[in-house]
Chains A and B, each alone.
Chain A
Amino acid sequence: MKTTAELIADDPLWLSIIKVVAIFAFGVVMTLFMIWLERRVVGRMQHRPGPNRVGPFGLLQSLADGLKLAFKEDIRPVVADKWVYFLAPIISAIPAFLAFSVIPFGPDVTMFGHHTALQLVDLPVGVLVILACSSLGVYGIVLSGWASGSPYPLLGSLRSAAQVISYEIAMGLSIVGVILRSHSLSTSDIVNAQEGGWYFWLLPVSFVVYAISMVGETNRAPFDLPEAESELVGGFHTEYSSLKFALFFLAEYVNMVVVSALATTLFLGGWRAPWPLSAIDGGVLNTGWWPILWFVGKTFFFLFVFVWLRGTLPRLRYDQFMRLGWKVLVPVSLVWIVLIAASNALWNTPGVTTGQRLIFFGVGIVVLLVFALLLPDKRVADDEEFVPVTGSGYPLPPLDLSVPKSPPRRRLPAAPEPAEREMEPAAVAAADKETGDGSL
């Protein structure tokens, strides 16, 4: 019996190319389908039909929208940084697809006479690769906001940079729990280690922290502050149009699929069939091509939760959001990691009786309780200093809120000839160009 990595190493080149194309197609088709599904489900939740004109049930709506975007004029603001403005959508789309390469879609199958695994590569540090890719994707957002040269995208990208970095820490810490349990960083090993039990109930705290931080990491409602349309017009992609805008859309949805697939892999047993089905005929449903069905099904469960959250929850305020990340998710994950490490050490040490283990755990719980009691009470008065509350108890932002200026442009480009007049992005940016000073 070969390991997954050895199986994949034996792949001929054409088989790898087939897998690459299949993964790319999966990402794109899932994007088109998810946009349709989201609009239909949110429509249903809001008592309206949603798109239902193009194709059966409106299924071809996203395709029509994509085609429409491709035929739109590609506008570049005069004050934009040309190269960075062009590169940003590409930088945000490529890592999203890269992360797919280490996700195991299924176990060993025979494909065109070749015995192989349904996974493009199986790296010993696969989980790290996915995390690294999602942290690279943030460059696309940060740079697009800056290079657009107008204030709203800049605000959106600033928010996004802070948000993704904060929630990446919580996400990484929640994954550490899984790694401590499975003793491996490889995605296929993690799926194999879940044969005895899925991690979402063996590691409930890790699962909850991951589920919250994956919504924060993908900038989705209720954590969609970087593109809060009521505050920032469109956020980082306000100045983008045509296919560049489509690339941002693609990146967002592919990222959603990637974090959902990773959640499936880490916590829901990957491609393994759910319990009553896995017992049929000695686990025949866990072999061959069946696992793809379970994998896609579980991924769709997470994707539906994404849509569900968007239809249910209002957007968080920025300070609430940051407080949740840094003061709740990170400390909880740290305590949880210590607990897992301690229980690992206890179980792996020979000669420790069950009574001693229980005593250790009792001591641990007492320490936690003492800490919980020593925590200072929550002071409500603090909040009111920063956010004035009106009579209705509805928090309002301060009235003297100042909007930062757009990134100043030092050297003006040669005055544009009237013949090739380009679109002005925003009046503010144009006015700023006139003054040209760099102070905030």
Chain B
Amino acid sequence: MTGAELVFVPLGAVALGSSVLVVTTDQLVRAALWLVVALGALAGCFLLLAAELVAWVQVLIYVGAVVVLLLFGIMLTRAPIGRSVDLDSGNRVAALVVALGTAGTLVTVVVGGFRTASIDLGDGSAGSAGTVGAGLFRYWVLPFELLSVLLLAALVGAIVLSRRDIGPRARDGGED
């Protein structure tokens, strides 16, 4: 085992463990913080695979923007300090089954698709900005553009939902 492999295993364990804590902790803001740890550990895994660009974009976008927005949303509505008993759901078993099923499907697909594939991490060019950019815009440009259209649709939808002067009359009262 090389040094990189030795670090990879604990990093993966940290990512997995903190992901479990995200759904099991009964403190709302701490759940978001465990999500930060999970995403950070994942960025560390990317770094060990010599994918520097992906790793830092992961930190920049997911850790630095998405979870901050999540926290922003949580705090804007209500973020109690301490435990929230009503965070426990009665659908635990169903959720566990769905989660395990999703994970199983994803693992099967990834293992089936990339079991024999290998990359050479030796010269560090496998994950460089140039390689990733060329791959993204040469071979994967259609999924990339589809994703950006999806995000745009989500953005437009959010604006339509939040504006009161367009669309169906919103019921008054409640939040101010």
Residues of A near any B CB (own CB < 8 A): 79-81, 84, 123-125, 128-129, 131-132, 135-136, 138-139, 142-143, 146-147, 149, 154, 157-158, 161-162, 164-165, 168, 185, 402, 407-411, 438-440
B80 on interface, CB distance cutoff 8 Å: yes
CB distance from A58 to the nearest CB of B (A): 38
By secondary structure, the A interface counts as helix
User: Contacts A135-B63, A162-B72 given: A128-B81 contact, CB under 8 Å?
Assistant: no
B87 to chain A, nearest CB (A): 10
**Most chain A CB atoms below 10 A, which of B56, B65, B78, B85:** B56
Given contacts A128-B57, A138-B68, A407-B75, 10 further A-B contacts (CB under 8 A): A79-B81, A81-B29, A136-B64, A143-B29, A157-B75, A158-B75, A162-B72, A185-B53, A409-B81, A410-B80
Output the least CB separation between A90 and chain B (Å): 13
Q: When the two chains form their complex, are residues A165 and B69 in contact, meaning their CB atoms are under 8 A apart? A: yes
Q: A438 — which chain B residues lie within 8 A by C-beta?
A: 78, 80
- By a CB distance below 8 angstroms, the chain A residues around B63 are 132, 135-136
A148 to B120, CA, bound (A): 49
A251 to chain B, nearest CB (A): 16
Shortest Cβ distance from B40 into A: residue: A136
Count of chain B residues with a beta carbon within 8 Å of a chain A beta carbon = 32
A161 to B69, alpha carbons, bound, how many Å?
8
**Do A135 and B81 touch (CB < 8 A)?**
no
A404's nearest neighbour on chain B, judged by CB, is: B76
Cβ-defined partner of B60 (8 Å) among A79, A132, A149, A410: A132
Known interface pairs A132-B64, A135-B63; A158-B80 also in contact (CB < 8 Å) = no
Q: Mark B55-71, 1 if CB is under 8 A from A, else 0.
A: 01101100111001101
Is B151 in the interface zone, CB < 8 Å from A? no
Q: Which residues of B contact A129 (CB under 8 A)?
A: 56
For this complex, 18 residue pairs linking A to B, each with C-beta atoms less than 8 Å apart, are A84-B29, A125-B56, A125-B129, A135-B63, A135-B65, A143-B33, A146-B81, A149-B81, A158-B72, A161-B68, A161-B71, A165-B65, A185-B129, A407-B80, A408-B78, A410-B83, A410-B85, A440-B78
Contacts of B175 in A (CB 8 A): 440
B91 CB–A CB distance under 8 Å = no
Q: Are B53 and A410 in contact (CB under 8 A)?
A: no
| A146 and B79 form a contact (CB under 8 A) | yes
Q: Are A407 and B78 in contact (CB under 8 A)?
A: yes
Judging by beta carbons under 8 Å apart, are B79 and A407 in contact? Answer: yes
Q: A128-B53, A146-B29, A165-B65 are in contact. Are A135 and B60 (CB under 8 A)?
A: yes
Nearest CB on A from B81, distance (A): 5
Which residue of chain A is the closest to B77 with respect to CB atoms? Answer: A440
Residues facing A in B80-95 (CB within 8 A) are: 80-85
Q: Do A128 and B56 have beta carbons less than 8 Å apart?
A: yes
B30 smallest CB distance to A (angstroms): 8
Which residues on the A side are within 8 Å of B105 (C-beta)? none
Q: Are B59 and A136 in contact (CB under 8 A)?
A: yes
A439: nearest chain-B partner, CB-CB = B78
Cβ contacts under 8 Å, B68 to chain A = 135, 138-139, 142, 161, 164-165
B76 contacts across to A, CB distance below 8 A: 158
- Shortest distance in angstroms between B176's beta carbon and chain A's nearest beta carbon? 7
Closest CB of chain B to A95's CB: distance in Å?
A: 10
Query: Is A168 touching B65 in the complex (CB atoms < 8 A)?
Result: yes
Question: Which one, A124, A135, A161, contacts B52 given CB within 8 A?
Answer: A124
Min CB distance A165 to B, Å, is 6
The answer to whether B11 has its CB under 8 Å from any CB of chain A is no
Contact call A146/B64, Cβ cutoff below 8 A: no
CB distance from A387 to the nearest CB of B (A): 17
